[in-house]
Structure 1
Amino acid sequence: MTTVRAAARELLRSRGVTTVFGNPGSTELPFLQDFPADFRYVLGLQEAVVVGMADGYAQATGTTALVNLHTAPGVGNAMGAIVTAAANHTPMVVTAGQQVRAMMTMEALLTNADATALPRPAVKWAYEPPRAQDVPAALARAFHIAETAPRGPVFLSLPMDDWDVELDEAAERAARHAAVRRVHDLTAADRPCVEALARRLEAAVNPVLVTGGSVDAEGAWSAAVALAERRQLPVWASPVEGRVGFPENHPLYQGVLPPAIGPLARTLAGHDLVLVVGAPVFRYYPYVPGPLLAEGCELVLLTSDPGEAARAPVGDALVAGLRPTLELLAELVDKRGDAVPARPARCAVEVPEADGEPMSAAIALAAVASAAPEDTVWVNESPSNLQLFRDHVRVDRPDSFLMTTGGGLGFGLAAAVGAQLGRPERPVVALIGDGSAQYAITALWTAAAYRVPVTFVVPANREYAILKWFGRFENTPGVPGLDLPGLDLCSLARGYGVPAHRATDPAHLAELVGAATAGAEGPVLIEAPVTTVPPTL
């Protein structure tokens, strides 16, 4: 006979899930005991960082990440990061230990009293198996739910005395069946529906394509490019997307749409059909009233998320897998006009001249862009500088940009570590605001302890600059707590074991980035003092 622990580990091996992100407590020790040599445990010093690292890892690898947290307090610490993972559509199985079954009714210390309620509504499914024998099947179900559209985190509460329970022959056979089952759901839309959409595209006088992060996450990048080129569609990026869904150096690429109702509608004015692919309609913020679409403009949404389709405030929707549907759509539409000009070849970007001390954020970002390798994976959590980043860093290949879509902070520093663990063959450069960095600062310890070669670049403006911009926009003067004097990112990094440098000018910054990304054997943090450039709508 075999134990629940052994059956669960075989299930994880069958799915290729041998990396566990965690922060252990006493209720997790039975799961972790005699940890197998073919598994990897990635320790984070705080639970939100653990989930953030798993988020970056899952997105970078295209697989489902496994997280192990400490009963109710650990789940509570992680909730902000779980909310972010849900917004990012990140497939993730979050497990947490639970008190032994004999003491759950009396709610002994470390009992998660209402385990399945705590992580809701951020998770797709929350469950505590009624018997120890049900743990393998519950784990299998958790992976299936996390991986089917819309992808996202799920939660399992697992009592600590379940792991040593021995399975009888029937239960062991059921566990083997659970380990080999697979669920596939990303199918093309019904052909008549796609044919109807093709006719609408062909009939439109001035159609436009808007792409979102799910285009990248679902492997539909090439299909989106093929459709745009076949119909010569101008392409906008949907606002506040965590991934890039279209090459930003392509002649058809127009830029990023503003995230407010009125400005977005004005930007798309003149188009009679808007095809949105792999994004909600839309992530609006702040509130700027106006029509959702200009007069005479229609919208169609293609998404794999039924919730996004249902809550869209305007237009029709088609719920289906993005890649097969776009591939079929590109086959069905007639070719329009002449061939699209080829994308320009990459050329060396010169290091900009200094424009003052401290340098402006625009100059700093240009310097970073000039020195980073072509195949860089970019992680961004510098909200006040995001607009400038998209101006200077043109992502031209899939799987190369990660940002949170959840609206909170704490994703970037941790996600960059996870992304590098998942894609060790590619350099990872993380642009993290000095305020944002504090939400996940302990991720630096993990980067150092596991020698994860992330290049952290901190454009430090000593304030919550994005909040000051919102304060001006919303006419809310006199708000306290928006300045961050006294932060010393280099000292903090060194305290966690990460080598750190402070850039003095653009040339020095480019030199530091170039050295850090050239085959580094571990993480490096570069602080670049900058002046603030407010974003615009």
Structure 2
Amino acid sequence: MTTVRETVHDLLRAWGLTTIFGNPGSNELPFLDRFPADFRYILGLHEGAVLAMADGYAQATGRPALVNLHAAAGLGNAMGNLANAKEMHTPLIVTAGQQSRGLVGLGAMLSEPDLTVVPTPHVKASLEPKRAQDVPRTLAQAYHLAMLPPRGPVFVSLPLDDWTAEVEPHEVEHLGRRRVTPLGGPGEGQVEELATRLAAASSPVLVLGPEVDVEPAFSQAIELAEAARLPVWLAPHPPRCPFPTTHPHYRGVLPTNVAGVSENLAGHDFILVLGAPVFRYHVNRPGPFLPPGAELVSVTSDPTAAARAPMGDALVGDVTRVLSALVKLGARPADRAPVTPRTAPEKVPADKAPFPAESVYDALAEVLPEDAVLISESTSNTGMLWERVPIRGAGGLYFPAAGGLGFGLPAAVGVALADPSRRVFAVIGDGAAQYGVQGLWSAAMHQLPITFVVLRNNGYGGLQRFVDALGVSGVPGLDLPGLDIVSVAAGYGLPAERVGTIAGLRAALTAMPDGPLLLEVPITGGPDLAG
């Protein structure tokens, strides 16, 4: 017989989960005992950073990642970024060590009888094995649940004294060989009906979401847009970029309010939404859900999002398969007008710091390699990124999906670990950087190819924009005087410099060192604070 620990290590190896992201405590040490030489443990200095690193890694690889957290407190520290993972449908197996079974009921330190309740509602399921011998099967259940559509994080509570228990071979012999496979999307008749409705429309429009930001869906969306002469919008709050922003059919990102979406889609009689919820609003600006005379059909893998939508029809299934079928069935109607390319924004000149944020994004657009990966978490300047920085291919951009801060900086670490051949450029606000700043240490320890561009406006710019919109005044806690991210980075062992000119910014962005680099870039738009 083998132990639970040995059995789980073998299962993780069979599933390809040999990269583990964690910040362990005493409850987790028995799992890490005699850690296999062919595994790697990516240590983060805070559980929030650990979760975001795993999220970025899983998104970039398209495979699940295993997260190793410490008890209820460590799991609680990770909750902000767990919300991002749930919203993004990232397949994560999130574990936390439970106290020894015999001590949980006694209220011992590091015990939590309701540990499975802590991560809800930000996981697909929350599990704890009923006995030690059930640990391998429970982890297998979590693995398959995380990967089934809609994908997402699954939590498993693991008592520390389970790992040394012995397991009968017949209880686990099939686990590593099992495959649980979804059957796909809507039937052919339904897709044919959708294609007919699309072809019959006089002015259809395509709205894309994050599920399309994978190949071959990304390329198929381009093919469909060109063949059917469809202008293309991105759904509100895009956490990924499912269509090239350089393409002449690209129209931009839909606003985050009901009225704004309807206004931007006015004049279209058929709205096809692929791979996005309908819709994720933020600002309360009421209005009609659809413009007059418009019909809407959405295709998504998420049945909850499909059921929740207040308008339109929905098909629940594999978006890539539906796209592929539409490309094969579709033909361009002869009387549909060609799509007119949008007008590019004018460049904003600048020389010395502090710079207009537009000029920083213009510099990025001029010098970024075509295969660069962008991580964005400068929320007050997100619109400028979408307007000014070219994103050409699948997997070109990552953004926090749930609206909380702390994803961007450590997620860049995970994305770089997934594919070290592509340099990652993480554009982070000075406030947002503080939420995941521990990720700098991990980037330095692994010498990852990341350029961190920290935009310093001395405040929470995203919140400052809401002051007028919400009609409030005299709000405290929005200014951030005295931050020195260059010194912080140096303390974590990461090279850093403060950029004073646009020419210096361009030179630093094109330097391409072997490892990480942090650039602090002062921008206008925040309070005039010393430091």
TM over 0.5: yes
Q: How does 1:276-355 map to 2 (within 5 A)?
A: 276-337=273-334, 353-354=349-350
Partners of 1:351 and 1:15 lie apart in 2 by 48
1:341: Cα distance to partner? 9.5
Q: Are 2:526 and 1:529 aligned?
A: no
Question: Tell me, what secondary structure is at the counterpart of 2:426?
Answer: strand
2:7 counterpart letter in structure 1: A
Alignment of 1:377-388 (within 5 A): 377-388=373-384
Query: Does residue 482 of the first structure (1) align with residue 478 of the second (2)?
Result: yes
Shift of 1:473: 1.0
Aligned to 1:27: 27
Aligned residues of 1:232 and 1:337 also touching (Cα < 8 A): no
Q: Distance in 2 between matches of 1:69 and 1:343?
A: 51
Contact kept, 8 Å, 1:11 with 1:176, in 2: the verdict is no
1:236-272 Cα deviation digits (max 9, x unpaired) = 1111111111111112111111111111100000000
Pairing of 1:1-150 with structure 2 (within 5 A): 1-150=1-150
Structure 2 residue identity aligned to 1:287: N
Matched letter for residue 215 of structure 1: V
Q: CA deviation at 1:299?
A: 0.6
Equivalent-residue separation in structure 2 for 1:259 and 1:12 (angstroms): 41
SS at match of 1:139: helix
- Give the number of equivalent residue pairs: 523
Distance in 2 separating the partners of 1:33 and 1:452: 27
- 1:369 matched to 2:351? The reply is no
* 1:159 corresponds to: 159
Match of 1:188?
185
Q: In structure 2, what is the Cα distance between the partners aligned to 1:475 and 1:223?
A: 44
Q: Is the 8 A contact 2:370 2:392 kept in 1?
A: no
**d(CA) in 2 for partners of 1:273 and 1:360?**
39
Q: State the partner residue of 2:430.
A: 434
How do residues 257-272 of structure 1 correspond to structure 2 at under 5 angstroms? 257-272=254-269
RMSD value over aligned CA atoms? 2.0
SS at match of 1:41: strand
Q: In 2, distance between residues paired with 1:176 and 1:448?
A: 41
Change (3 A) 1:185 1:533: farther
CA contact (8 A) 1:43 1:446 kept: yes
SS of the counterpart of 1:28?
A: helix
Could you tell me which amino acid in structure 1 is paired with residue 209 of structure 2?
A: G
CA distance in 1, matches of 2:231, 2:377: 28
Q: Distance in 2 between the 1:199 and 1:533 partners?
A: 51
| TM-score in terms of structure 2 length | 0.95
* TM-aligned CA distance change 1:278 to 1:42, over 3 Å: same
* TM score, norm. by length of structure 1: 0.94
Deviation of 1:357 after TM superposition, in Å, equals: 3.6
- Three-state SS of the structure 2 residue aligned to 1:248 is coil
Q: Mind listing any 5+ residue stretches in structure 2 that lack a counterpart?
A: none
Amino acid at match of 1:521: D
Equivalent runs, 1:389-408 vs 2, <5 Å: 389-408=385-404
Q: CA deviation at 1:521?
A: 2.5
In the superposition, relative to structure 1, how do residues 157 and 218 fare at CA in structure 2: closer, same or farther (>3 Å)? farther
Gaps of 5+ in 1: 345-349
- Compute the displacement of 1:335 (Å): 2.9
Cα distance in 2 between the residues matched to 1:125 and 1:452: 33
Task: Tell me how far apart the structure 1 counterparts of residues 17 and 169 of structure 2 sit (CA, whole Å).
Answer: 25
The residue that corresponds to 1:456 in the other structure is: 452
Matched, 1:417 2:417: no
Residue matched to 1:347? none
Name the structure 2 match of 1:446: 442
Q: After the TM superposition, which parts of structure 1 deviate over 6 Å for at least 4 consecutive aligned residues?
A: 338-344
Amino acid at match of 1:264: V
Q: Find the residue that maps to 1:457 and give its secondary structure.
A: strand
Distance 2:337 2:68 in 1: 49
Identity across matched positions, percent:
51
Is contact 2:448-2:516 (8 Å) kept?
Answer: yes
State how far apart, in whole Å, the 2-side matches of 1:270 and 1:370 are: 35
SS at match of 1:116: helix
Q: What's the CA shift for 1:186?
A: 5.8
Contact 2:357 2:381 in 1 (8 A): yes
Q: Judging changes above 3 Å, is the alpha-carbon distance between structure 1 residues 219 and 134 closer, same or farther for their aligned structure 2 residues?
A: farther
CA, structure 1 residues 340+524, in 2 after alignment: closer, same or farther (shift >3 Å)?
A: farther
Distance in 2 of aligned mates of 1:302 and 1:132? 42
Partner deviation per Cα, 1:468-491 (whole Å, 9 max, x = no partner): 111111111111111111001101
Match of 1:483, as an amino acid?
A: D
